[in-house]
Chains A and B, each alone.
Chain A
Amino acid sequence: MVQLTSEMKRLVDSESGTVSREIFWNQDLYDQEMEQVFNRSWLFVGHESQIPNAGDYILGRMGEEAVIVSRGRDEKVHVFLNSCRHRGNRVCRYDQGNSFTHVCSFHGWTYDATGALVALPYHENGYDLMDKSQWGLLQARVEVFHGSIWATWDKSAPSFHEYLGGSDFYLATGLMHTDGSDNGAEVLGGVVKWRLGCNWKVPCPDTDTTHGWITHRSTALALGVGATGNPVRPREDRSISVGQTRSRYTVSFPEGHTMGVTIPEEGDPGWEESGTWNERPAVREYLREKFEERKKRLGLMAHLSVGPAIFPNEGWLGRVVRIMHPQGPAMTEIWTYFFVDKDAPQEVKTELANYYELYYGPGGVTQQDDMENWYALTIASKGPVAQKLDLNYQMRLSEPPLHGPTEFGMPGLFAHNYSDENHRRYYQRWAEVMQAKDWGEMAPTKAAAAKDDWMKNGNGR
């Protein structure tokens, strides 16, 4: 762990497992976050399936700021700030479209699909000394990972691969086709966006395994299913009782990425067997066929499908990506992308869309209750008395995480399924990034020593 300054340690103390409420309310800290966290991190801005053709574009966000995510004539993905270099006006006002030019509505400065300044009125006479090549829309660095598009403003940031710190192993499983082939997922039309009165960090660390039994109790009572509809496999028998489940862990990386991982075992049921699909027969039949193909491709690892929360503001729920865009200390705009296999029959896509609409998003029976709590904790933490009380992340503080089972080559630091380890690591990383002057200071030190015999020794416990 990077040594924190005393001021930062006052806010985030991983050793005692406490976090100050100030980091969810303080405007100065928020302003610092915009510079230190959002202007330097790799951020999710969309998926290639949203812009399949040259000239296609969508809007994305990086921190508070809007970006245009565009496919140029060169077929490459470009990401640039949606703010005219002339007088700062918003250049693109549409959520999506196809155009090889973006014309500013103020004075007509015109940019192409790569963000380059290609035309401006009165250029010949009025701007004879100006070098147009220097006045394109601000370019972000872009990397495409299994179809997902990531961007950063920081030229000195490590590659996205290095930034993932080994979590690419899991991220790929979330983005691949159900049949286990590398690509082939697409985003269903319509990014679901809504505003929620809480700090952007509140929904970020994954997973919060101990909230579901009460937050989502009404879903269980009324719909008779797990809180998230358990989109991939029936694990209810293992996960309902409080205590270590045999194969489910919270997994984190020193880079701040957090997730829940179920270690595949021989005899695990196929995805089609999940009770989630009882009322969705087309999905079940489709999964039956595709999961067989996945097993042929991936073997036991076919069962692995992990949506890792990539630091700082990307997260997953099943096959749904949600991005927490900051809008001030106590306001977040959540953008949600729903994935399906591109070549799945329409009937399957429709059933999945209906499934997503029922559980996820602002109208989702599950997420409604998350939002209620996240908003209420924001309101109840506002006062000067509450602000002085640190939040508790002490669950299983005394159990250091262990490296994953090397026999599967699964990377990451594995902790008990019911543990705050992921939250501690997320906020520790947040603090490190907040205080670091450069990426050299951010280089994570590998935490716990590997214990190769952890699986043999009662899962290391």
Chain B
Amino acid sequence: MADLLSHEELMLRLEIEDFLYMEADLLDEHRYEEWLDLLTHDVRYHAPMKRNVSSKEMDKELTREAVEMSWFDEGKDTLEKRVAQIRTGVHWAEEPLSRVTHFVSNVRLLDSGSDKVGAGEIRVKSRFLVHRNRLEDEDNTWIGNRIDTLRRVDGEWKISRREIYLDQNVLLSKNLTNFF
């Protein structure tokens, strides 16, 4: 049986949940520059692909970061470029802007103060359901989970690493124009 959460742990979880919901609001309200401010300068934003492999070879299911191809493998510089592209007004895939909603749930703190994260860092796992509706009738749903590493920078939580595990093999949408 899991240990009961202490008052401090409970408060931390609420704080982290609130952070993730606030982040989702920024994305869904197209406040991308403010969203970028939530990322550390050395952030890694990685979305591996998932292969169909034997259940005995699940270690080969995910494409490996920096070695194999991913849906996304980004640093802050390229995420900033993506935001700048959306702001040009001629990025046709997001012109007009898509209607996007992020549902974030199943938030759990994985590590804090353990050797898996640096000092002042915490790992948090969550599920996402991202819905994109575009123009008249284009409609996409992406479901999966994320593992984030959050870091305290000047008293504020920042995302220093986001791993995005999308539950698709063949991507069932024509493109990926939004952030997870």
Contact = CB atoms under 8 A, between A and B. Distances in A.
Asked if A pairs with B, the answer is: yes
Interface of A: 93-97, 188-197, 214-215, 217-219, 221-223, 279, 333, 338, 346, 349-350, 353-354, 356-358, 361-363, 365, 367-369, 371-375
Nearest to B63: A190
Contact of A189 (B67, B77, B174): B67
Nearest to B78: A358
Nearest to A335: B170
B180 to A, nearest CB: 10
Contacts of B175: 194, 196, 362-363, 367-368, 371-372
B72 A218 contact: no
Interface in B126-180: 138, 169-177
B70 interface: yes
23 contacts: A94-B53, A97-B57, A190-B63, A190-B69, A192-B71, A194-B171, A194-B172, A194-B175, A195-B173, A214-B90, A223-B84, A279-B77, A333-B170, A346-B67, A353-B68, A353-B69, A353-B70, A353-B73, A361-B71, A362-B173, A362-B175, A365-B82, A369-B92
A220 to B, nearest CB: 9
A148 to B, nearest CB: 18
Given A194-B173, A195-B173, A369 B68 contact: no
Contacts of A196: 174-175
Contact of B68 (A97, A188, A193): A188
A362 B176 contact: yes
Contacts of B173: 194-195, 362
Contacts of B78: 354, 358
A171 B169 CA distance: 29
B51 interface: yes
A349 B66 CA distance: 8
List of 9 A-B pairs having minimum Cβ-Cβ separation, nearest first: A189-B68, A190-B69, A218-B91, A194-B171, A222-B85, A190-B63, A222-B84, A368-B93, A372-B93
B6 interface: no
Contacts of A95: 51-53, 169
B122 interface: no
B7 interface: no
Nearest to A93: B52
Contacts of A93: 52
B91 A190 contact: no
Nearest to A223: B81
B170 A189 contact: no
A374 B47 CA distance: 25
Given A194-B173, A368-B175, 11 more contacts: A95-B52, A188-B69, A189-B68, A193-B171, A194-B171, A197-B174, A353-B69, A363-B176, A367-B175, A373-B92, A375-B174
Contacts of B172: 194-195
Contacts of A338: 69
A375 B173 CA distance: 11
A373 B175 CA distance: 11
Interface residues of B, number: 44
A218 B51 contact: no
B64 interface: yes
A4 B73 CA distance: 49
B80 to A, nearest CB: 9
Contacts of B174: 194-197, 362, 371-372, 374-375
B81 A193 contact: no
B88 A194 contact: no
A371 B93 contact: yes
B81 A222 contact: yes
Contacts of B170: 193-195, 333
A358 B72 CA distance: 8
Contact of B51 (A96, A369, A373): A96
Nearest to B56: A97
Given A190-B68, A362-B171, A97 B73 contact: no
Contacts of B91: 218, 222, 368-369
A279 B82 CA distance: 16
Residue among B48, B49, B85, B173 facing the most chain A CB atoms (10 A cut-off): B85
Contact of B171 (A94, A97, A195, A219): A195
Contacts of A191: 69
A368 B67 contact: no
B85 A223 contact: yes
A190 B63 CA distance: 6
Interface string B79-109: 0011011111011111000000000000000
A189 B63 contact: yes
A197 B71 CA distance: 19
Contacts of B73: 353-354, 357
